Amino acid sequence: MATEALLNDDSNKLCAENRTTPEKGYDPEHPPPFFSLHSIRMWICLLLTTAMYICQSMNVSLGMSIVCMVNSTAYQSHNLTEGTNSSLSIGKCQSALDDPESSINAGYDVKEFETSIKSQIKEFQGDLLWSPAQQTLLFSASVYGSFITLFFSGYLADKFGPKFLVMGATSIFVFVSLLTPLAANYSYKLFFVMRILMGLGDGFMFPCSGSLAGRWFPSTEKSTAAALYTSGRQIAASLASLIASNLCASSLKWPSVFYLFGTLGCLFLIIWFIFVSNHPSSNKFICEAERQYLMANCNTTNKKNTNKVPWRKMLTSLPLLSAVFCNFTFILQAAMMQNFLPMFLKENLGLPLHSNGIYTMMPFASQLLFKNICGPAGDYIKRKKIMTDTNCVKMFQTIASIGSSFGMLALLFLSDCENPRMALVYLFVFGTTFSAGICGFFTSLLSIAPMYSGTCFSFSMFFAYLGHFLIPNLLTAIIQMDFYVAYKWHMIILFCVVLHLSSGLIFLFYGSAEVQEWAKPAQQQEKLEEKEIRSVDIYGSALSLDA
């Protein structure tokens, strides 16, 4: 009660600071600022960020943990000392070490290298005997569950509100995370089923977040809000990798990773329940000025949504379809980086576990920084009319498609174990340009249909998760068929790059950030029709007078 009273008092101060008018409750020339300690929508955004962080941490922590969960040296194909079956880069490094005149030997002790290799082998000797194919299948398991709930999660969020759906989804994550050590040690099949169960919760996160964002953030703040709340995923991908790698190497071992994030999830559920509401009009902490401002500018209503979803128009909308394709390729690249970057760095650069965590953190840390620069920059461009909303999202999406593709290609062809630090540069380039996609296709998805943002995100994320599903299964197929296994990373990365460039080109032609006609509220459409009728009547009367 004391906290509620304090927040209500702060909200009253905000109303006084923003000169209100009797008619609207706020001054249109000085709307309540987004970045303010008294701004409830900023706190809603930060709680969305936390939700993304907590759930993504529980999801992606497997990517780093698995390298110390599994006894990699039990399988010849992953033996760091087997030259015939090791990756090209490890073989290249070994050949360089055998050559006294090689540049890699300049100032480098061969015995030091051998000691490093033995240390890495010890670090990768976990307790679980899972084959490489089984390991890659685990990363696609959660996607199976996501496919089930993505069909209806956005529709339910638009219809009944996203607050309790997010709580339910997070509860699933917490349950699975806390039971992961037990399930993994019991059997591979049980752990696989638990990962599918986690996917059921994951299928709710983006559609529900999109639905809540459509209710709380006006068009001039959508890029900023989207950049901020999706930052939770980058914070998770960077910090979770660093935390997991250190816990794995400690005496607490890998189970502590899952216990830590599961406990954080429990604490988050309590905070979310207290402070979040489905709509500004029903929030007990918001001041009247901010409430009226959001109700006037968010094109949504607190009433139960009784409008039928215009499925035919939605599924044939070129702006929506182009954004969906971009989302697919965006998640495709993200899945590659989140799930397999530690494995790529281990095989191609021969990095020890502690360095692997730092390198894995780089693209996500750079995304975190630059997306929160791009977001406000994009909204500033739109607010100052420097560029139309549509041209703005197209510009940022082009930067994302070209820049991130270059970063991946450079990582593949220009970095190796002889000069591993250059990989940090290419990962930084990838992360900074990849982040521009939030102000591109992601802002487009939030903007073109605010009333149906949850449904649009469900539709979009269903196809996006095909990318999440495709990458691990493609890698598994290459390994199982023994199809140029030494070049598996070349095939995977080139596949991602070609699709990402194609989606950027299509969005350049068909992308949009304007509210589509089929997505406008029925009352607004009726008003437009009445205006058109009045215009015709006035024009007809004028003609009669002239006659």
Domains along the chain with CATH numbers: 51-98+119-515 (1.20.1250.20)
Report residue 128: phi and psi, to 5°: -95, 135
CA-CA distance, 425 to 415, in Å (whole number)?
10
Half-sphere exposure of 307 (CA within 13 A, CB side): 20
Write the single-letter amino acid at 524.
Answer: Q
Which of 328, 257, 235, 230 lies closest to 63 in space, CA to CA? Answer: 257
Is residue 489 within 8 Å of 419, Cβ to Cβ? no
CA-CA distance, 286 to 23, in Å (whole number)?
18
How many H-runs (helices) and E-runs (strands) does the chain carry? Answer: 21, 0
Report residue 71: phi and psi, to 5°: -80, 90
CA-CA distance, 449 to 521, in Å (whole number)?
10
Q: What is the pLDDT of residue 303?
A: 53
- Sign, Cα dihedral of 141, 142, 147, 149: positive
Which of 241, 246, 249, 240 lies closest to 125 in space, CA to CA? Answer: 249
pLDDT, tens digit only, all 547 positions of the chain: 444 444 455 445 545 444 444 445 566 667 788 888 889 999 999 999 999 999 988 887 787 777 778 766 555 444 433 333 344 444 455 444 444 444 444 444 444 444 444 444 445 456 777 877 787 788 778 878 888 898 888 888 888 889 999 999 999 999 999 998 898 888 889 999 999 999 999 989 988 998 898 888 888 888 889 889 888 887 887 787 778 878 877 777 888 888 999 999 999 999 999 999 998 888 888 888 888 888 888 765 555 555 678 889 988 999 999 999 999 999 889 888 877 888 888 877 777 766 777 888 888 888 888 888 988 898 889 888 899 999 999 999 999 999 999 999 998 888 777 777 888 999 999 999 998 998 999 899 988 988 888 888 888 888 887 887 788 778 878 877 776 667 888 888 999 999 999 999 999 999 999 988 888 876 444 444 454 445 444 444 443 444 4
Task: Name, in order, each residue with C-beta under 8 angstroms of 33's C-beta and a sequence gap of 6 or more.
Answer: 39
Say whether 25 sits in a helix, a strand or coil: coil
136-166 burial code (b ≥16 CB/10 A, e <16): bbbbbbbbbbbbebbeebbbbbbeebbbbbb
* Cα distances (Å, whole numbers) of residue 95 to 92, 105, 312, 352, 485: 5, 11, 60, 19, 20
Give the pair of three-digit tokens for residue 525: 């459409």
Q: What is the pLDDT of residue 79?
A: 42
- Sign, Cα dihedral of 43, 45, 48, 53: negative
